[in-house]
Amino acid sequence: MFSALLKRELMVARRNWIGIVIPLFFFVMVVSLFPFGVSPEAPTLQKIAPGIIWVAALLATLLSLEQFYRSDYQDGSLEQTLLIAGPTQVASAKILAHWLLTGLPLVIISPLLGILMQINHGFTDSTHTWVLMLSLLLGTPTLCLIGAIGMSLALAANRNGMLVAILVLPLYVPILIFGTSTVTASLENFSYNGQLAILAALLMIALVVSPFAAGRALKISVS
């Protein structure tokens, strides 16, 4: 059942592929604004790089939420899927599809942003790029999981877009803190295992709580 739901989500997304690509463009464009806005010098960019890349990833995840939920809700197919499968399952399929099509691509193109933000400036190897990718790999699933709760709650509301951001952003703060501090610790030659472990722990908590909560929220929205 779960794989059928997931397959459906992926198929819908493939037919609307431009909606998947736009958050990635957004991710790259937002990051590339900062050299213009702050300073194009490598040491400055390197210093702000972890925060900028992480904030951009967070906003890109937030932006892409809409298309995985909104149209399904509006054309009634969400109600139909909830009739044939449990709410937790439906929510899990949506969350996994969202991460596969937004979170994972963000992780994959993050080295490009590392280069744009001069993250390896002054170093001979590319350790920091790997650390950045690893932190995003552990952090973006949590972003998708928490975002799913906010999005599902806001589905039936009159306002959209901004409302989801207001609900979800305070909950994103811990992930942002530890995601950024992982990369910063690596740049300052400190150990970053602790921060990665906390990112993983947050992911575990979100994995337990979020599919259930998002499922309840979907149920409330269509009731």
Partner 1 sequence: MASRWRWFHQLGSPKWFFEKSSKWLPWIWAGTLILLGIGLYYSLWASPIEARQGQGHTVRIMYIHVPAAALSMVGYVIMAIASIIGLVWKMKVAFAASRAIAPIGAAMTFIALFTGAVWGKPTWGTWWEWDARLTSELLLLFLYLGFIALHSSFAERAKADKAASVLAIVGVINVPIIYFSVKWWNTLHQGYSVTQKGALAPEFQVPLFIMIGAFYLMFIGLVIMRLRVEILMREQKSRWVAEWAAGQNGHK
Chain positions contacting partner 1, by CB under 8 A: 149-150, 153-154, 156-159, 163, 166-167, 169-171, 173-174, 177-178, 181, 185, 198, 202, 205, 209, 213, 216-217, 220-221, 223
* Residue with Cβ nearer partner 1 (105 or 195): 195
* Residue with Cβ nearer partner 1 (129 or 142): 142
At its nearest, how many Å lie between partner 1 and the CB of residue 20? 27
Phi-psi region of 86 (alpha: psi -120 to 50; beta: other; left: phi over 0): beta
> Among candidates 205, 72, 81, 69, which has minimal Cα distance to 150?
69
| 92, containing H or E segment | helix 87-98
At its nearest, how many Å lie between partner 1 and the CB of residue 150? 8
At its nearest, how many Å lie between partner 1 and the CB of residue 43? 18
At its nearest, how many Å lie between partner 1 and the CB of residue 21? 30
* Residue with Cβ nearer partner 1 (4 or 166): 166
Burial of 176 (0-12, 13-18, 19+ CB in 10 A): middle
**How many Cβ atoms from other residues are within 10 Å of residue 141's Cβ?**
26
CA–CA distance, 62 with 123 (Å, rounded to integer): 33
* Residue with Cβ nearer partner 1 (105 or 128): 128
Is the CA virtual torsion 194, 104, 208, 150 positive or negative? positive
* Residue with Cβ nearer partner 1 (55 or 213): 213
* Residue with Cβ nearer partner 1 (45 or 146): 146
Instruction: Give the angle subtended at the CA of 206 by the CAs of 74 and 174, to the nearest 5°.
Output: 105
> Among candidates 100, 89, 131, 97, which has minimal Cα distance to 114?
131
At its nearest, how many Å lie between partner 1 and the CB of residue 146? 8
At its nearest, how many Å lie between partner 1 and the CB of residue 90? 16
